[in-house]
Chains A and B, each alone.
Chain A
Amino acid sequence: MPAPIRLRELIRTIRTARTQAEEREMIQKECAAIRSSFREEDNTYRCRNVAKLLYMHMLGYPAHFGQLECLKLIASQKFTDKRIGYLGAMLLLDERQDVHLLMTNCIKNDLNHSTQYVQGLALCTLGCMGSSEMCRDLAGEVEKLLKTSNSYLRKKAALCAVHVIRKVPELMEMFLPATKNLLSEKNHGVLHTSVVLLTEMCERSPDTLAHFRKLVPQLVRILKNLIMSGYSPEHDVSGISDPFLQVRILRLLRILGKNDDDSSEAMNDILAQVATNTETSKNVGNAILYETVLTIMDIKSESGLRVLAINILGRFLLNNDKNIRYVALTSLLKTVQTDHNAVQRHRSTIVDCLKDLDVSIKRRAMELSFALVNGNNIRGMMKELLYFLDSCDPEFKADCASGVFLAAEKYAPSKRWHIDTIMRVLTTAGSYVRDDSVPNLIQLITNSVEMHAYTVQRLYKALLDDISQQPLVQVASWCIGEYGDLLVSGQCEEEEPIQVTEDEVLDVLEGLLVSNLSTPVTRGYSLTAIMKLSTRFSSVNRIKKVVSIYGSSIDVELQQRAVEYNALFKKYDHMRPALLERMPIMEKTASNGPTEIVQTNGETEPSTVEAKHPPPVTQPTNQVRIISKNIYCIPSMTAYNKNGLKIDFTFERANPNPNIAVITIHATNSTEAEMTDFVFQAAVPKTFQLQLLSPSSNVVPALNQGTVTQVIRVLNPQKQQLRMRIKLTYTHKGSAVQDLAEVNNFPPQSWQ
């Protein structure tokens, strides 16, 4: 059997593959060879084979069949084997694998090996991916090594202990004694890892934290030495000595100084020193300054020190390096709540960052800008933010628009300004505005009574320019429907009134109905607006015509509205003015303001429609829409529900004659095929009289996509309990269906 090919030979070969398929073929061939080699328990080449497997794993191919082989390598006596074996374990054998635990014994032995590099391998593997069980088993060994004088092992043991504590926090106690003189070490590796270990302990246990506060003077001393010490080639990074250690010490100081006056005071001087003396020309210096600022802001530092910190961040904002500007903005965002005034001082620099080319910086700057808006700077800030909204990438527009609305609502200096700001957003970023903005804006406009004429005029003019931005169009339609009378009146206080006729307004609204740019929701708004104008304009006939045309629209929502509005014209004309009158001021969360369209599904309280007025378009509901403010609600009922055909009854009492119950049937079809030639017939006991009016249609569309309605009038002079027998006939999927049913569950209010 020839020796398996060497690793680097394999790598070279695979790299010559010109296609993915070719590569896959080579890999499969090699995997097959490796598998048979594994089966033969070949000790000599196991290492080579696993190494190759790891390479193929990196390319994305499965390597799970090598897991056990890694264990064998770890158990081997050869250092080369162990090195690859542990590497394989770290790549293939995380704690989710069943065989993971099998490593425990090997690791235990290797932790006690005579060669420190073998011990190192074991510590590294345990410290990177040891499971909780493994950590529990081996914590004792780690603790032993933490006390050794060998700094190579000590530093690894320290980080291994950190991992053990993260996995099994209860074990933290056992490491406490070993931490006693960790900070007296000269070796930077040990020092650094010790600080990490101490930090981990302090973060997990308030008691331990209190216990370690006594280390503050020592930590301060070490930090001071690092800053004052001369050049050390080993640890120097651009003139700074061991920045990694400095940062970790600063972080530990932060934790120890938080909420503790004494500790904070003890570190005050060193923090000031680092803040003022650190070289800022390179990234490394700024990394330390950054950590220092975070520490100053978190502990109980004197106000002078805090101002110094914020000023450092302010200087960061002016740095040429983008990374530093980004980090500054992020930090300022965190401190803006607690040190608002200090951050305000840097407002203009922050606002300038809105113009930065870097996307990450722009986003941070935008968030921070919104956080800085207040009653004093609203006008100036809004100018900048609106300018930003105009020119920013689409990914920002939705958030920015929302932010502007929120800020405007909180701090608007005048109603006119508020409306103007909203207009500006709607016209420049109208398509990105969130859906819930529309009802909020409508509510806002309604409540700004003195601005109605101005608002509707501006919105109308905006519509003439552009009907593509749906939120703008929806708000505009709604306003025109409400305030169309003001629009044609030729009166406006805030600006030059425009002269527009009723027909022109109706042209615009009808244009929205037919335009391809309008979504179904928009069309709904527009139709409702036209309807409302029937009580505000004199050209009622034109409106009637439009409404009746849409009675046969393919769009079910529009159709339903049109049919109802038609009914309003025909049968309920006396109610029309009352129904369509001007909306009163809405409370944001009120649920019993008068509404125009009430959805009832049997309950007596009207649903909360205010915030979503008009109701959003969803699937047409099987529930009833009754256009009436004056009914006292009689619960509706389901009279029949079989084979996908459902018939609901809804009720009104006709006011002139209380002995007449007016029942509307609503037939829906949940099957996949429509029901055609649908005929509904009803019969009542002799003491009643029944009149059946024409149905809306005799096709019940499939999948609940439409409703057939029909009105029944029942005269019940003796006020007897209402009973009915119904007969249904229809054609479904080619065959004729007929059914009879008794309806007895009429609500008492319908006949009493």
Chain B
Amino acid sequence: MKRQTVTHRLRFLLLFSRQGKLRLQKWFVPTSEREKKKVIRDMIMLVLPRQPRTCNFLQWKDLKIVYKRYASLYFCAGLEEHDNELLALEVLHRYVELLDKYFGNVCELDIIFNFEKAYFILDEFLMGGEVLETSKFAVNVSMEQADTLQETMEEYMSKPAY
């Protein structure tokens, strides 16, 4: 993952449960399957044993890892060296808020059974590892409108989507 200039962006975002089950994986740089598995394994091994009141930042290879636990899910992001960790915490928090607004009192089961929606929401909030939309409302508005689009098609086909 060579880069010439200093970039500030997320390299990856992972969601996993307290038992170490992956619930979402978003990679913002091209990564081989093998490397993805290794990163996931390493993150789970690094983050799960952390004590409750320790700081949310770790150093791993040349990346800064920012993680936060929300109920039974760990949100874990890999940052470039010069990125702002405190802001990354805000990014994670905003994503949780967006999920919460969409699903209404979101819990892990929502993410499990509607993982594709979790990805769609993420793709309205971040792109290429950068924040795409900073408004709290805009993302949900887009989601609602896109969802409507989906159902219209569905009705047209008069067949269940999936």
A interface residues, Cβ below 8 angstroms from B: 6-8, 11-12, 15, 44-45, 47-48, 51-52, 54-55, 58-60, 78-80, 83-84, 87, 91, 94-96, 115, 117, 120, 123-124, 127-129, 152, 155-156, 159-160, 162-163, 166, 169, 188-189, 192-193, 196, 200, 203-204, 233-237, 242-245, 247-248, 251, 283-284, 286-287, 290-291, 294, 322-327, 357-361
Contact = CB atoms under 8 A, between A and B. Distances in A.
Given A152-B142, A244-B134, 13 more contacts: A51-B116, A55-B115, A91-B25, A95-B30, A160-B128, A189-B138, A203-B6, A244-B131, A251-B8, A286-B86, A287-B90, A290-B84, A327-B57
Interface in B23-82: 23-25, 27-28, 30-32, 37, 53-59
A79 B58 CA distance: 41
Q: Which 6 residue pairs of A and B lie closest in terms of their CB atoms, listed nearest first?
A: A48-B162, A287-B86, A322-B55, A189-B133, A287-B87, A159-B127
Given A51-B162, A83-B120, A196 B145 contact: no
A281 B110 CA distance: 32
A189 B149 contact: no
Of B53, B58, B149, most buried by chain A (CB within 10 Å of CB) is: B149
A152 B141 CA distance: 11
A189 B25 CA distance: 24
B150 A83 contact: yes
Given A44-B159, A83-B120, A322-B54, A128 B86 contact: no
Contacts of B85: 323, 326-327
Interface in B111-125: 112-113, 115-116, 119-120, 123
Contact of A247 (B28, B87, B137): B87
Contacts of B127: 123-124, 127-128, 156, 159-160, 163
B116 A54 contact: yes
18 contacts: A7-B162, A11-B113, A78-B153, A79-B153, A80-B150, A80-B162, A83-B116, A120-B142, A159-B127, A166-B7, A188-B133, A189-B132, A189-B133, A192-B132, A204-B4, A243-B90, A290-B84, A327-B85
A117 B145 contact: yes
B89 interface: yes
B100 interface: no
B146 interface: yes
Interface of B: 3-8, 22-25, 27-28, 30-32, 37, 53-59, 84-87, 89-91, 94, 112-113, 115-116, 119-120, 123, 127-128, 130-138, 142, 145-146, 149-150, 152-154, 157, 159-162
Of A237, A291, A323, A324, most buried by chain B (CB within 10 Å of CB) is: A323
Given A124-B127, A166-B7, A47 B84 contact: no
Contacts of B134: 188-189, 192, 235, 242, 244-245
A155 B91 CA distance: 18
A317 to B, nearest CB: 13
Prevailing SS type, chain A contact patch = helix
Prevailing SS type, chain B contact patch = mixed
Contacts of B57: 323, 326-327, 360
A163 B131 contact: no
A166 B80 CA distance: 15
A665 to B, nearest CB: 53
B112 A11 contact: yes
A192 B4 CA distance: 23
Contact of A127 (B31, B54, B128): B128
B130 A162 contact: yes
Contacts of A47: 161-162
A12 B27 CA distance: 27
A233 to B, nearest CB: 8
Contacts of B159: 44
A79 B86 contact: no
B149 A117 contact: yes
Contacts of B162: 6-7, 45, 47-48, 51-52, 80, 84
B69 to A, nearest CB: 14
Contacts of A243: 87, 90
Contacts of B25: 58, 91
B80 to A, nearest CB: 12
Contacts of A234: 135-138
Contacts of A79: 146, 149-150, 152-153
Contacts of A120: 142
Nearest to A84: B116
A117 B142 contact: yes
Contacts of A200: 7
B27 to A, nearest CB: 8
Contact of B86 (A94, A193, A235, A290): A290
Nearest to B130: A196
B30 A129 contact: yes
B89 A323 contact: yes
A190 to B, nearest CB: 9
Contacts of B56: 322-323
A359 B56 CA distance: 11
A234 B136 CA distance: 5
Given A7-B162, A244-B134, A323-B85, A159 B113 contact: no
Contact of A324 (B22, B23, B86): B86
B116 A287 contact: no
A355 B34 CA distance: 40
B132 A244 contact: no
A206 to B, nearest CB: 11
Contacts of A51: 116, 162
Contacts of A169: 4
